[in-house]
Homo-oligomer: A and B are copies of this chain.
Amino acid sequence: MEKYALFGKLMTQPGKRDELLAILTQAAQLVATAKGCHHYIVYKDAQHQDWIWVSEIWDSEADHDNSLQIEGVMDLISQAMPLLAGRPEKIEMTVVGGKGIS
């Protein structure tokens, strides 16, 4: 079955990137053992000092959606919201193959 993948772009209020990175790192720990979770990787954009990217790979979109129900995740989303400047952007994909994913 083709795996579901997602790149998310999050733009923070000025100076708030480190705070949001800490929240997303906690989120990564919460979802790491979730059903169907292969990747949840957090990045700092090299050109824009208030931008963060996340790449996720899941067995299915349903597994991704279910991860929002994991205890603590909605709380982290609530903490993250006031740090954002604008709506997060999402690129949805399916995995074809390569190195770093089985």
The answer to the question of A47 belonging to the interface, with a C-beta cut-off of 8 Å to chain B, is yes
Interface residues of A in 33-56 (CB under 8 A from B): 37-47, 52-55
- B-side contacts of A85, CB under 8 Å: none
Number of interface residues of A (CB under 8 A): 36
**A92 adjacent to chain B (CB < 8 Å):** yes
In the bound complex, what is the Cα–Cα distance between A44 and B43 (angstroms)? 21
A21 within 8 A of B: yes
Assembly CA distance A40 to B101 (angstroms): 9
Contact flag A98-B25 (CB < 8 Å), given A5-B43, A44-B93, A45-B93: yes
Contact B93 A31 (CB under 8 A): no
A16 to chain B, nearest CB (A): 14
Give A57's nearest chain B residue, CB to CB: B100
Q: With an 8 A cutoff between CB atoms, is A95 at the interface?
A: yes
Q: Return the contact of A93 from the options B40, B46, B101 (Cβ within 8 A).
A: B46
